Amino acid sequence: MQLDAIILGAGPAGLSIAHELQRLGSKVKVLETSDRAGGSIRTIRDGEWIVETGPNTLQTEGTADLEILKGYGLKNEMQFAHSESAKRFILSHGKLHTLTAHPASLLKSDLLSFTEKLRLGSEIFRSRKNPSNESIQDFMTRRFGKAAADRLMDPVVSGIYAGDPSELSMASCFPSIHGLEKSHRSVLLGLMQRPKADRRIVGFKNGMQQLANEMARPLLEHGALEKNCAIAEIKKEGGTWTVSWVDQTQAPHTATAPRFIITAPHWHWARLPLPHNIKQSLEPWHQSKVPSVTVVARGYKRSDVPHPLDGFGYLVPHNENRGVLGCLFPSSVFSDRTPKDHVLLCNFIGGSRHPDLAAQSDEQIRISVNRELSETLDIKATPVKEWIQRWPQAIPQYDGQQSVREKLLEQLESEHSGLHFLGAFRHGVALMSVIRRGHTLAQCFSR
Ligand SMILES: Cc1cc2nc3c(=O)[nH]c(=O)nc-3n(C[C@H](O)[C@H](O)[C@H](O)COP(=O)(O)OP(=O)(O)OC[C@H]3O[C@@H](n4cnc5c(N)ncnc54)[C@H](O)[C@@H]3O)c2cc1C
């Protein structure tokens, strides 16, 4: 089978590049080892409940991102977050503190003391420094003070990476904020001066799986997406990649193409039958940590939840010593996610600082979540529904070695024509960013 591109993995990265390549006239094949398309996207439909146990939302920036989503036929299927969910909470000293995107909300809140707020605001007068490979914790403490690092940034890092800010690299995890010190001397000054981005929090009427299904649909229609396949051999001869696999009936197949795109996550690379020299070059990626996270989604009767749930959800700083990283309020963000007079909560447990908690038994996890929801939201009732999803490897961690590992991929791509690596393991973990990069790369190939 002679193709234009062979793509490993039908997560958002693989689907986005394949969808766009096919739309532009290329012949592609996506090979997926599991029995479904969507990767980390996982929506459970249970009666009237629509429950996300992977990404709950994605964040678009500007109209170009919305156009990409519309291109999947989802124009009338998108849901935008209710304005009330612009409010977010951070737990501190056992109490929820309200924050919005408006800086005045931080000034009004008692999340930081008066002196700590002064320290944060004095960032505007701080001189520029350029320590190499600084951690998020060190960068935030240096620029904004320890209280802001511990109580503001730490929970955000938990929310995005389920990670430890003292291990993760500021430049790799938050390149645009990191770059503001260089470009404007002060991050606050830079934030004030940069044009306001038109960001929207987006979901889909039938959940995120609807996005994956619509990205996959034209590929399936053209026989360009194969699930349940086992990759047997990957070879490069001259400018051509040859991939052999067996399908679920054990029938063997072979395809050749000038482009070979790996979107399977890096923790699967050691088992890929890649040419020896490529496999060897990828070894540093085996050390890259990927913490486990367990998601516990729960449905309650509205009357059993005293808290108004008038926001997106809450995040928990590490020094609160709680069993959960945070809890989202999905039924407050989008309509029609629950039966009438019910609410949905989504708790995240584990991460790089508490892998032991993610690995607990369902019963132990239930006890932790009961305690947490009772203490923070005053919920004493038993849920009417519960769904538990375990992610043994959840989110890639961009630590101090990330830039070195990324350079390795660039080197491999320049040495082996047609080879590309695309996915959350590099250049950003946010779902929309992964999709946008796949879309853009396909357009670059087709030029
Ligand atoms: C619990 C959780 C919550 C999240 N919440 C959010 C959120 O709210 N907002 C947000 O923006 N992002 C969120 N993310 C991140 C986002 O989901 C990921 O960044 C995104 O799914 C990454 O897409 P990907 O295609 O790179 O990888 P994946 O989604 O991991 O897909 C990779 C695919 O490759 C397949 N594969 C593996 N090995 C092979 C092989 N050898 N050959 C072929 N195929 C293979 C896998 O089966 C899988 O289908 C969340 C992630 C998790 C886990």
Reply yes or no on whether the pLDDT at 73 is more than 90: yes
Structural contact between residues 119 and 148, judged by C-beta atoms closer than 8 angstroms? yes
Residue nearest ligand 1's atom 20 by CA? 431
Q: Ligand 1 centre from 432 Cα, in Å? A: 12
> Residue 447 and residue 57: Cα distance in Å, rounded?
32
Q: What is the mean pLDDT of the chain?
A: 96
* Residue 197: pLDDT over 90: no
Instruction: Give the model's confidence band at 191: pLDDT under 50 very low, under 70 low, under 90 confident, else very high.
Output: very high
Atom of ligand 1 nearest to the CA of 423: 26
Kindly tell me if the per-residue pLDDT of 104 is higher than 90.
no
Nearest CA to ligand 1 atom 27: 11
With contact defined as beta carbons under 8 Å apart, do 397 and 352 qualify?
A: yes
Residues across the chain: 447
What stretch of H or E contains 285?
helix 283-286
DSSP 26: -
Give the domains, in start order, of the chain with CATH numbers.
5-41+63-77+208-288+398-446 (3.50.50.60), 112-199 (1.10.3110.10), 291-391 (3.90.660.20)
Choosing from 17, 40, 199 the residue with most ligand 1 atoms within 8 A of its CB, the one to mutate for a pocket test is 40
Q: Is 12 in the pocket of ligand 1 (CB under 6 A)?
A: yes
Q: Is 394 in the pocket of ligand 1 (CB under 6 A)?
A: yes
pLDDT at 318 over 90: yes
In sequence order, the β-bridge partners of residue 86 are none
pLDDT surpassing 90 at residue 238: no
What region, left, alpha or beta, does residue 185 occupy, with left being phi > 0 and alpha being psi -120 to 50 degrees?
left
The 10s digit of each residue's pLDDT in 17-48 is 999 999 999 999 999 999 999 999 999 999 99
Question: Nearest residue CA, atom 2 of ligand 1?
Answer: 54
Q: Quick one: which atom of ligand 1 is closest to the CA of 268?
A: 38
* Neighbour tally for 261: CB within 10 Å: 29
Express each pLDDT in 212-223 by its tens digit.
999 999 999 999
- For ligand 1, say whether the CB of 211 is within 6 Å of any of its atoms: no
Per residue in 43-59, pLDDT tens? 999 999 999 999 999 99
**What pLDDT sits at residue 447?**
81
Distance 143 CA to ligand 1 centre (A): 33
Q: Which amino acid is at 399?
A: D
Report the candidate in 90, 42, 160 with the shortest Cα–Cα distance to residue 313: 90
Distance 425 CA to ligand 1 centre (A): 9
Structure confidence at residue 334 (pLDDT): 96
Residue 103 has pLDDT above 90, yes or no: no
| Nearest atom, ligand 1, residue 31 CA | 43
The answer, yes or no, to whether any atom of ligand 1 lies below 6 A from the CB of 396, is: no
Task: State in Å: Cα 434 to ligand 1 middle.
Answer: 9
Testing ligand 1's pocket by substitution, the residue of 19, 243, 431 carrying the most ligand atoms inside 8 A of its CB is 431
- Rounded Cα–Cα distance for residues 374 and 318 (Å): 19
Q: What is the pLDDT of residues 338-372, one digit of tens each?
A: 999 999 999 999 999 998 999 999 999 999 999 99
